[in-house]
């Protein structure tokens, strides 16, 4: 029985979810006053025509809930999973709020990848077929000609990635003086792709007043900070699959096939590009094997195991905290006591041998309100054991398909393009003038020896994205031996 001298603590998954929901509401309040969901029949005429062009039978939940606030003009942060219909939630209101006669960019939709940009633009074209609105699709890695042409032809809605949009703004191809609406889609992915510096530069171009909306599957502090940078007193709508849950830790497992666990681990790391990851294996020999394999692949990685001196373990953890190390491979015993608030991923090379170790492992991430990802690699044999753990702790465990080699290559290439474009934008006029002498050489190499250029891009990617060289420089310096030829201040006399 509780009294004024006692306090009851509830550590059940349900209680933890409830507390995270309260934390998110404290960060961004819900809309005030609240509005009822909207049916398709309640859409403004122009939006209704765009909706009819899609062939959808009815508004999806995220559309029905979010569109009333967008039409009211609220700045809005919407937490909604990929595939929930959020594209329609921000596209449909544009047809009612923008000026179809004005041939200038009035809405800017920023996405993290060109694939998503193409998907959104395709949805816009389907909706806009009979509306009179024009759009432009802009992303890096391709020529400028067609993109500039569509902007010059009077596009009112611009969809694209931050890097290429910054390039075109810098060239004064277009301006955002007439912009009324800013939309950030998949904001968490935008940060994962390394767009934060570009987003901070873009903030200098977007005008005020404007209406701004941000959509994100997760709501970690860095995404919230991005929301504060672009949105004015935003309201928060939590529209996850469980209606209001804003859990910051996502549990999933990945069934490995003929590729094997090591190939699957490398592919997941390349695809997700975690800012920091802790990889667990059940034995010291597996820890050594995985760490060596990742190092040969070019990752910034270290290992800790029970046979290592304590000072080497502490050094590895210090480097992970400081960001000079990206991946730490560990056994359960060696990882005890690890507390790294910025840890984004926990990846389990093996299903833990004891049920309680799953919670100890995955509890290393999603601390203090941060977002986290827990991925377990499974075979057909140990998948049963993992599902038993999920049932025991009442965890929502998602079966995550392993990214294909083509999907991973596309993601890495997009990230490399972002890195190259961002590096170019940082160059001074003098540096650009010096670079010009190599343009004919690069053009020739692209046709005759593309492997040489691929080598340079790979080297830049390793340094900028994985921080491999930075990791090497960050190793503790050896103590210098005393110089026997130098005396003390008294001239060397004892």
**Residue 259 domain-assigned (yes or no):** yes
Q: Do 201 and 262 share a domain, yes or no? A: no
**What angle separates helix 145-152 from helix 162-170, to the nearest 10 degrees?**
70
pLDDT of residue 92: 96
Confidence (pLDDT) at 350:
92
In a domain, 441, yes or no: no
- Report whether 126 contacts 50 (CB < 8 A): no
| Same domain (yes/no): 200, 82 | yes
Determine, yes or no, domain membership for 354: yes
In a domain, 139, yes or no: yes
Q: Is 158 exposed, middle or buried (0-12, 13-18, 19+ CB in 10 A)?
A: buried
Answer yes or no: do 266 and 216 share one domain.
no
Q: Please give the model's pTM, rounded to 2 decimal places.
A: 0.68
Beta-bridged to residue 82, according to DSSP, are none
The answer to whether residues 260 and 210 belong to one domain is no
* Other Cβ atoms closer than 10 A to 342: 17
Question: Which of 360, 375, 399 finishes a domain?
Answer: 399
Domain boundary among 399, 430, 448: 399
Q: Are both 213 and 347 inside the same structural domain?
A: no
Residues 218 and 253 in one domain: no
Q: CA-CA distance, 148 to 172, in Å (whole number)?
A: 11
C-alpha 325/C-alpha 455 separation (Å) is 23
Work out whether the CA dihedral 325, 329, 335, 341 comes out positive or negative.
Answer: positive
Residues 211 and 314 in one domain: no
Q: Is residue 442 part of a domain?
A: no
How far apart, in whole angstroms, are the C-alpha atoms of residue 375 and residue 251? 6
Helix (H, G, I), strand (E, B) or coil at 336: coil
Report the pLDDT value the prediction gives residue 468, as an integer from 0 to 100. 61
**Domain shared by 141 and 35, yes or no:** yes
Same domain, 90 and 222: yes
With respect to residue 152, please indicate whether it lies within any of the assigned structural domains.
Answer: yes
- Using the 3D structure, point to which of 175, 209, 238 is the last residue of a domain: 238
* Inside any domain, residue 486: no
Write down the pLDDT at residue 312.
85
197 within some domain: yes
User: Quick one: 78 and 173 in the same domain?
Assistant: yes
User: Which DSSP state fits 275?
Assistant: S
Q: Are residues 220 and 278 in the same domain?
A: no
CATH number (domain holding residue 322):
3.40.50.300
- Residues 144 and 199 reside in one and the same domain: yes
Tell me the C-alpha distance between 31 and 237, whole Å: 8
3-state secondary structure of 157: strand
Q: Which domain holds residue 278?
A: 249-399
**Total tally of structural domains belonging to the chain:** 2
Provide the β-strand partners of residue 183: 109, 213
Tell me the average confidence (pLDDT) per consecutive run of 10 residues in the chain, 494 residues long. Answer: 55 52 63 92 95 93 94 90 82 96 96 88 93 94 91 96 92 94 88 81 91 83 82 82 49 83 94 90 92 92 83 84 88 67 84 84 63 87 90 89 93 88 88 94 94 93 73 45 44 38
């Amino acid at each position: 029985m509780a009294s004024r001298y006692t306090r009851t603590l509830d550590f059940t998954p349900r209680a933890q979810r409830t507390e995270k929901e309260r934390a998110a509401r404290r960060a961004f309040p819900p809309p005030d006053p609240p509005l009822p969901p909207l049916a398709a029949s309640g859409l403004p005429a122009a939006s209704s025509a765009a909706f009819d062009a899609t062939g959808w039978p009815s508004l999806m939940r995220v559309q029905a809930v979010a569109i009333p606030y967008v039409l009211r003009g609220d700045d809005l942060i919407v937490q909604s999973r990929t595939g929930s219909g959020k594209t329609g939630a921000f596209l449909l209101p544009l047809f009612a709020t923008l000026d179809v006669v004005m041939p200038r960019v009035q809405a800017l939709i920023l996405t993290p990848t060109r694939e998503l940009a193409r998907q959104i633009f395709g949805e816009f074209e389907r909706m806009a077929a009979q509306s009179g609105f024009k759009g432009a699709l802009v992303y890096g890695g391709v020529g400028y000609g067609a993109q500039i042409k569509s902007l010059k032809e009077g596009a009112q809605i611009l969809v694209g990635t931050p890097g290429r949009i910054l390039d075109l703004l810098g060239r004064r191809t277009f301006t955002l003086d007439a912009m009324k609406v800013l939309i950030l889609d998949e904001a968490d992915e935008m940060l994962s792709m390394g767009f934060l510096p570009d987003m901070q530069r873009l903030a200098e171009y977007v005008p005020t007043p404007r209406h701004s909306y941000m959509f994100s599957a997760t709501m970690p502090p860095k995404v919230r900070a991005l929301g504060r940078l672009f949105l004015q007193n935003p309201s928060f709508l939590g529209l996850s699959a469980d209606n209001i849950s804003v859990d910051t830790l996502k549990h999933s497992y990945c069934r490995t096939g003929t590729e094997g666990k090591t190939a699957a681990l490398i592919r997941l790391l390349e695809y997700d590009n975690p800012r920091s990851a802790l990889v667990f294996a059940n034995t010291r020999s597996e820890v050594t094997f995985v760490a060596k394999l990742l190092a040969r692949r070019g990752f910034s990685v270290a290992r800790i195991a029970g046979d290592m001196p304590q000072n080497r373990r502490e050094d590895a953890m210090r480097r992970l905290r400081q960001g000079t190390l990206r991946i730490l491979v560990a056994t359960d015993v060696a990882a005890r006591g690890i507390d790294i608030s910025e840890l984004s991923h926990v990846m389990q090379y093996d299903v833990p041998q004891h049920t309680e170790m799953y919670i100890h492992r995955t509890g290393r991430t999603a601390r203090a309100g941060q977002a986290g990802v827990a991925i377990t690699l499974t075979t057909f044999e140990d998948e049963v054991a993992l599902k038993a753990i999920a049932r025991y702790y009442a965890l929502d465990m998602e079966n995550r398909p392993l990214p294909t080699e083509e999907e991973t290559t596309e993601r890495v290439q997009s990230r490399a393009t972002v890195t190259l474009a961002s590096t170019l934008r940082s160059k001074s006029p003098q540096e650009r003038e010096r670079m010009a002498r190599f343009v004919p050489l690069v053009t020739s190499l692209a046709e005759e020896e593309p492997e040489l250029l691929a080598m340079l891009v790979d080297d830049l990617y390793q340094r900028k994205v994985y921080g491999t060289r930075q990791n090497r420089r960050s190793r503790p310096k050896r103590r210098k031996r005393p110089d026997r030829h130098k005396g003390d201040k008294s001239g060397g006399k004892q």
